[in-house]
Amino acid sequence: MRRGAYATGQYRNLLQEYGYAADAVDARLEACWETLFGDSPETRIYYEAEGGMGYLLDTGNLDVRTEGMSYGMMMAVQMDRQDVFDRIWRWTMAYMYLEDGPNAGYFAWSCLPDGSRNSNGPAPDGEEYFALALLFASHRWGDGDESPMDYSRQARKLLHACIHKGENGDGYPMWNPANKLIKFVPNCEFTDPSYHLPHFYELFAEWAEPEDRDFWREATVASRDYLPLACHPVTGLAPEYAHYDGTPNDERGYGHFFSDAYRVAANLGLDAEWFGGDPRHAAIAERILAFFADKAPDDYRRYTIAGEPFEEKSLHPVGLLATNAAAALAAPDSAYARAAVRLFWETPMREGDRRYYDNCLYFFSLLMLSGRYRIWGPAQA
């Protein structure tokens, strides 16, 4: 039986449960939106462009990524900002959409702000966020009459490509067709644990093309089963890259807990919020909260998944403490949950060159913890 907000329509406002005033939470949401999408040069990551377009800038790398663009669209649909959503989607389709070659139907993962491409390869975390943001937009605002604003058709087309591409020798799918696990990139056979979003796949299984829905049901189960394999049984930490059996893949040094892997904790929290969670995932969340309970953000580091620290400091300590707080949704009764949420609440959004990734994770965590990260279904149109 399905549980969580999907079944009940009730979203848990953990911040309010923990004693933070409703008006203060609402004010924080509006202030954080303004931080990201406003005009301040010290804090903004969103920029408007000609032709009714806009983009999110990775301020640390000075490029535009499908990660950030899809995040921006998800933020905009949650905040009921169709104007921003449409600007981002127009830019994405104008500059990132790949019309030919082995990756046709996907999106170039990195471009310069002028739209020129740094790569003609995709990154699947962008595609999965694009797809759900488009479906939510369709349900919340309705489809436009013309491409690319026919949101739901664009989403179904993208999801179909993600799992069927390569069947005619025309490239590679983004999910392994045998084990139903998402790949790090289409032409490789390993994964990134932070890409695993079973709570998204539950919804794809309802709203994708009818012939694709069984695949997404299987992918939901496969990813929920995969995360306990990838997360360490004591610390709960996941590597950035992992093999299909869950063991770390240290290709180019990515077999440890670092930036990408921070998202796993938040994903566990949102899955619990939307679909009631999984006892195995609650245990992972509690281990993560326990591991970081005695660590100060200014001393966060790269770690082995067993918890052994490297000298290298975290590039994104605000993002890490934010995702740890979101994990409290999966383990709200943990002895460490309230402290993690308090640390998040007392920490401001980041300024400076590295602010993009930290503040995206911060805003998503705030949406989750305030009960404002909603499932927008057809009945709400």
Mean pLDDT of 122-129: 98
DSSP notation for 105-161: TSB-SEE-TTS-BS-S---HHHHHHHHHHHHHHHHHH---SSTTS-HHHHHHHHHHH
For residue 333, is it within any domain?
A: yes
Residue 381 predicted with pLDDT over 50: no
Backbone φ and ψ for 63, nearest 5 degrees, come out as -135, 175
For residue 30, is it within any domain?
A: yes
| Same domain, residue pair 148 and 287 | no
What percent of the chain is modeled with pLDDT above 70? 99
CATH of the domain at 128: 1.50.10.10
Instruction: Grade residue 119 by pLDDT with cuts at 50, 70 and 90.
Output: very high
* Domain count across the chain: 2
| Same domain, residue pair 104 and 244 | no
Residue 1 predicted with pLDDT over 90: no
For residue 186, is it within any domain?
A: no
| Same domain, residue pair 234 and 361 | yes
pLDDT tens-digit series, residues 259-275: 999 999 999 999 999 99
Rounded Cα distance between 335 and 65, Å, is 37
What percent of the chain is modeled with pLDDT above 90? 97
pLDDT of the residue at 252: 86
Instruction: Grade residue 251 by pLDDT with cuts at 50, 70 and 90.
Output: confident
Residue 377 predicted with pLDDT over 50: yes
Q: List the structure tokens of 11.
A: 């979203």
For residue 273, is it within any domain?
A: yes
For residue 53, is it within any domain?
A: yes
CA angle 133–157–273, rounded 5-degree value: 30
Residue 130 predicted with pLDDT over 90: yes
For residue 203, is it within any domain?
A: no
For residue 202, is it within any domain?
A: no
| DSSP single-letter state for residue 233 | T
| Same domain, residue pair 53 and 143 | yes
| Same domain, residue pair 37 and 52 | no
pLDDT of the residue at 90: 98
Residue 108 predicted with pLDDT over 70: yes
pTM: 0.97
Mean pLDDT of 10-34: 97
pLDDT of the residue at 155: 98
| DSSP single-letter state for residue 242 | B
Last residue of a domain, one of 174, 198, 213: 174
pLDDT of the residue at 375: 98
For residue 294, is it within any domain?
A: yes
Can you give the residue range of the structural domain that contains 337? 1-44+227-381
Instruction: Grade residue 379 by pLDDT with cuts at 50, 70 and 90.
Output: low
| Same domain, residue pair 344 and 235 | yes
Indicate which residues carry an active-site annotation.
67, 260
Mean pLDDT of the chain: 97
